[in-house]
Amino acid sequence: MNGTLRTLISEEQIQARVRELGARIRADFPDQPLTLVCVLKGSFLFVADLVRAISGEVRVEFLGVASYHGGTSSSGVVKITHDLRHGIEGQICILVEDIVDTGLTIDYLVRMLKVRGPKALHVATLLDKPDNREVEVELSYVGFTIPDEFVVGYGLDLGELYRNLPYVAIYSP
């Protein structure tokens, strides 16, 4: 790839913030079992760190979603590539996303999961990019609010690359 990368959020900032979010989630639901729903692929690193920052009983489920098809703008089309392995009825669920841009993906997923009868369903997103929002979505836990730039790293990709960066960077072609 021949674009340029500029660090937006350092590895240290991410790690510190994720620990804070984990502690806040546990404080909001003391002594209660939680189910983290990891939206693949983008949030796999965020979930891996977040789950270790939440004490007590935590389950992890994976939901495979394809919304982007290799480009840098939202298609608004959500395709489920891997469904949850277990039901979430009666459970307190945290839907974990890498980034919320237009909001179309998370809005679709929240409506899809609510039908399955969770006791509660909250959204945690590492990044919030509010400038392009097309649908109102309630985000209970936000790592960082960022400007309208295309970012990669810490799970976020461009054409499947850059997910392995331990920090978040702005990508310019």
CA 161 to CA 131: how far, in whole Å? 25
- In terms of Cα–Cα distance, which of 18, 62, 69 is closest to 41? 62
Cβ contact 137:103 at 8 Å: yes
**Per-position x/- string for 94-123, each x denoting binding to Mg ion as judged by CB under 5 A, each - no binding:** ----x-------------------------
Distance of CA 112 to the CA centre of its chain: 16
Residue 169 touching ligand IMP (CB under 6 A): no
Give catalytic residues, as residue numbers: 101
Site of tokens 């979930």: 47
CA 117 to CA 107: how far, in whole Å? 16
By the 10 Å C-beta count (0-12 exposed, 13-18 middle, 19+ buried), 5 is classed as: middle
Residue 125 touching ligand IMP (CB under 6 A): no
Residue 128 touching ligand IMP (CB under 6 A): no
* Residue whose CB is less far from ligand IMP, 99 or 165: 99
Among 34, 109, 156, 168, binds ligand IMP (CB under 6 A): 156
Residue 98 touching ligand IMP (CB under 6 A): yes
* Residue whose CB is less far from Mg ion, 42 or 118: 42
| Least distance between ligand IMP and beta carbon 131 (Å) | 11
Judged by the rule CB under 6 A, the positions of this chain that interact with ligand IMP are 42, 67-68, 74, 97-106, 129, 150-152, 156
